[in-house]
Structure 1
Amino acid sequence: MRPNFWQQYTLEELTTAEWEALCDGCGACCLEKFLDDPDEPYTVEYTDVACKLLDCETGYCSNYANRHQYVPECVSLTPAKLPDMMWLPENCAYKRLYLGQDLPKWHLLLTNDIEATKQGMRQAGVGVAGRCVSETWVNEDDLEERIIQWVHA
């Protein structure tokens, strides 16, 4: 990857590896959510219910490479889709860079230390690891009862 690529290039100019490296692994995009008003992309309520492929202990997808085979509705994030995805959490590097903001200070691309990043994420209250349940265990009719306040768009 190119040094400081997130500062030197537009999102459209990133290589696949650079694009993937932007993800902080918080897992919030994998939570079930309610978009209250389709015309207002910032109006979102997250639940603690995660996609069936998300490992709720680690917060990482258990089959990222093949996720669309098992979850066809899984969104592939691209620079072109970002304007319609402002429901992403405020810590999301993709959203932050799109909005002209810096990466969070705990981001792995800045710390180069996975443990420091994990600690920084915990201190910032970011990440779904240990805080969510799989959709396989929750009735869809009960989703509204599972709305959480710890993910902020």
Structure 2
Amino acid sequence: MRKFLVSILIIVTLVAIISGCSKKENIQFNNFYGDTEKWLVIRTNDNVFKFIYKGNAEDLKKNNNTGKISFHYGTSLGTIGATQLLNNTNYYQVEFKDDLITELPSNSTFNGNKFINVQIGYADTTDSIDLAAYMEYKVK
């Protein structure tokens, strides 16, 4: 009888552990990443875009009479942009006023093959970068 009770206890424990670990996970695509020969761009879930120029910071200033760099990104909801003064580093961080990504309708969920387009303008150059969604798992 004791072996029978121990066996049932072990089975119940295993079932509880397995059911607790197998909760459905929701994949959320709040984070985006794009990489080109010139730029690395990361968008985090707090609507902050990090732009890292891979070349010499002085290259951004060549033929740039305004001394500014502009950043835009677009989704099916529209486009938003921001402009900053050029600095002496290769790093720019922009928090856009509007977040066009988290407001996308639920039927526009990202499946890893959806992209956000970012455009960076300086001097007479405009670089276009597609940011791909990468998965973040949330357990409910």
- Asked if Structure 1 and Structure 2 have the same fold, meaning a TM-score greater than 0.5 normalized by the shorter chain, the answer is no
Structure with greater helix share of residues: 1
Q: Provide TM-score, normalisation by structure 2.
A: 0.25
| Bigger radius of gyration among the two | 2
Structure with greater strand share of residues: 2
